[in-house]
């Protein structure tokens, strides 16, 4: 379509139409299941970091390469994923992503046999690539399966299942991966095999199930007067939102990644890895509870107001964790999970609002900023090695401060240089 010509108009599906009568319950059930899988696989990294630190005798910064390779994959593949999803469609994108995830998880088998840290990192990178493609596909899906005004509420429900998985994963991971003191390197390496082989099988199973489940086709359309040119980058609120996603994921992952090692310090009671993993579960459990509350509350409270509230509290509590000691610092840190809860489900729809035919591109950009989970923990690991654990949380404080800026000012939408107000809509069943 040439620039300046009329775009394709879209109207609401009549209430009596077959497409309108189609229930979104089955698609939403699949979406929340996928969010659960994402949360479980991602949070297991919090157990892998201290485990590999012991197995390969690593510093904090080198052990946190687990997160660097895993979340670095998002940066490498997320924007291309937007293009891939735009070409093959959302449903095929989900199936492909699950196959990539399963393949990456299978790499844990040779890595555990060879006891090779680089091969473990490669496996995590492949898994991260699959998750990047998966998130690019499912985030707009959840937003489109219902009213745009309640998109944050639906994403919050998915976040609840994501956090439920995050609550369970440290306990499951600790039961399988943390074995008795004095174990050999071969035994320590072998302990990761069973959980990751089971996850690989489940990933391939979900790919098969998704292929045969009827799902609505998401079509990106434009209204009259839209132009062919432009990109999602021309939306200022998308750019600010990308940085907010970077900060949110970086802060959330950094806290979870260093918590077990931090609680093992003499000043925090020299907890064992298994005991400290309980508090990681509490951290993600707080996010789980608050995300469920967010699913209910955010049907009446706007995303900007909710994000402002939680970012203020997160800033206060992480500041307390930096200045206080002992149980006060511990519980202040754990409580940050409560305030992380609705950050993603608020930031994401606020950032892609009004992008329309640029939604898949914008989604790819936002998901690429999950690379914050690679960068921020690595920075904090370097700070912890040099200055100690508590001062290292200043980087997390800076992240929360930026999110507060986005909630107050940065999310406000500005019109790009080309006239367009497209949107994403579910149509026929595939």
DSSP string, 341-355: TTHHHHHHHHHHTT-
The partner residues of 429 in beta bridges, in order of sequence, read: 216
pLDDT value of position 426: 53
Q: What is the pLDDT of residue 180?
A: 59
Residue 223 has a CB neighbour count (10 Å cut-off) of 17
Show the DSSP H helices in 10-116 as ranges. Answer: 18-21, 25-43, 45-55, 60-63, 65-88, 90-106, 108-114
- pLDDT at site 318: 95
Count of CA atoms in the C-beta half-sphere (13 A) of 229: 7
- Across 231-235, 310-314, 324-328, the highest mean pLDDT is recorded for 310-314
Determine the Cα–Cα distance for residues 8 and 268; give it in Å rounded to an integer.
61
Question: Using 50, 70 and 90 to split pLDDT, how confident is the model at 297?
Answer: confident
Q: Give CA–CA dist 222/156, Å, rounded.
A: 27
User: Per CATH, the architecture of 18-416+423-429 is what?
Assistant: Up-down Bundle (1.20)
pLDDT score of 16 = 40
The chain-wide mean pLDDT, for the chain, equals 81
User: Hey, is 216 helix, strand or coil?
Assistant: strand
Q: How many whole angstroms separate alpha carbon 257 and alpha carbon 250?
A: 10
Q: How many C-beta neighbours within 10 Å does residue 374 have?
A: 25
Please choose, from the candidates 11, 16, 47, the residue with its C-alpha nearest in 3D space to the C-alpha of residue 274.
47
d(CA 281, CA 126): 26
Which residues lie below 8 Å from residue 211, measured CB to CB, with a gap of 6+?
A: 95
- Lowest-confidence region among 109-123, 289-303, 307-321, 375-389: 289-303
Eight-state DSSP code of residue 370: G
Q: What is the pLDDT of residue 279?
A: 87
Which residue in 75, 76, 403 sits closest to 248, CA to CA?
403
Q: At what angle do helices 90-106 and 25-43 cross, to 10 degrees?
A: 30
Instruction: List, in sequence order, every beta strand (DSSP E) within 198-257.
Output: 216-221
Q: Which of 24-33, 67-76, 89-98 bottoms out in mean pLDDT, i.e. has the lowest?
A: 24-33
CB 31 within 8 A of CB 134: no
Q: Which H/E stretch holds residue 428?
A: strand 423-429
* Residue 153 tokens, joined: 């509420």
Radius of gyration, alpha carbons of the chain: 21
* Highest mean pLDDT, choosing among 210-224, 283-297, 330-344, 361-375: 330-344
Helices (H) and strands (E) in the chain, counts: 20, 2
Reading phi first (left if > 0) and then psi (alpha if -120 to 50, else beta), residue 132 is in: alpha
C-alpha 135/C-alpha 97 separation (Å) is: 9
pLDDT reported for residue 8: 29
Pair 364, 78: CB distance under 8 Å? yes
Q: What confidence tens digit (pLDDT) does each residue in 236-245 have? A: 888 999 999 9
76: Cα separation from own chain's centroid: 15
- Mean pLDDT is highest, among 16-30, 51-65, 106-120, for 106-120
pLDDT of 404 strictly over 90: yes
Q: How far apart are CA 421 and CA 270, in angstroms?
A: 56
What angle do helix axes 151-177 and 193-212 make, rounded to 10 degrees? 150
């Amino acid at each position: 379509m040439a620039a300046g010509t009329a775009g394709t108009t879209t109207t609401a599906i009549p209430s009596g139409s077959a497409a309108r009568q189609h229930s979104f319950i089955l698609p939403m059930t699949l979406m929340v299941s996928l969010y659960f899988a994402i949360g479980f696989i991602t949070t297991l990294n919090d157990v892998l970091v201290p485990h590999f630190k012991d197995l390969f005798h690593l510093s904090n910064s080198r052990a946190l390469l687990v997160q660097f390779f895993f979340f670095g994959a998002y940066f490498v593949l997320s924007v291309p994923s937007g293009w891939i999803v735009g070409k093959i469609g959302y449903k095929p994108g989900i199936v492909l992503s699950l196959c990539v995830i399963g393949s990456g998880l299978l790499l844990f088998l040779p890595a555990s046999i060879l006891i090779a840290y680089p091969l473990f990192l490669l496996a995590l990178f492949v898994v991260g690539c699959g998750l990047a493609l998966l998130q690019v596909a499912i985030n707009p899906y959840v937003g489109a399966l219902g009213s745009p005004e309640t998109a944050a509420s639906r994403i919050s429900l998915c976040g609840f299942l994501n956090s439920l998985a995050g609550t369970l994963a440290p306990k499951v991971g600790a039961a399988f991966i943390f074995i008795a003191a004095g174990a050999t390197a071969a035994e320590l390496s072998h302990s990761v095999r069973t959980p990751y082989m089971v996850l690989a099988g489940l990933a391939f199973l979900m790919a098969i199930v998704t292929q045969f489940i009827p799902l609505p086709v998401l079509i990106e359309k434009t209204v009259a007067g839209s132009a062919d040119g432009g990109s999602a980058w021309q939306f200022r609120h998308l750019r600010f939102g990308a940085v907010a996603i970077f900060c949110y994921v970086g802060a959330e992952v950094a806290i979870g990644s260093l918590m077990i090692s931090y609680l093992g310090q003499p000043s925090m009671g020299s907890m064992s890895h298994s005991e400290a993993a309980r508090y990681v579960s509490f951290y993600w459990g707080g996010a789980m509870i608050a995300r469920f509350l967010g699913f209910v509350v955010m049907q009446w409270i706007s995303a900007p107001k909710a994000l402002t509230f939680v970012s203020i509290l997160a800033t206060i509590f992480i500041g307390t964790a930096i200045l206080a000691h002992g149980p006060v610092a511990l519980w202040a840190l754990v409580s940050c999970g409560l305030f992380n809860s609705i950050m993603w489900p608020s930031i994401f729809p606020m950032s892609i609002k009004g992008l329309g035919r640029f939604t898949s591109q914008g989604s790819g950009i936002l998901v690429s900023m999950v690379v914050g989970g690679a960068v921020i923990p690595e920075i904090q690991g370097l700070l912890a090695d040099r200055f100690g654990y508590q001062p290292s949380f200043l980087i997390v404080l800076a992240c929360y401060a930026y999110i507060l800026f986005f909630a107050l000012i940065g999310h406000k939408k500005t019109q790009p240089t080309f006239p367009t107000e497209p949107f994403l809509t579910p149509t026929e069943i595939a």
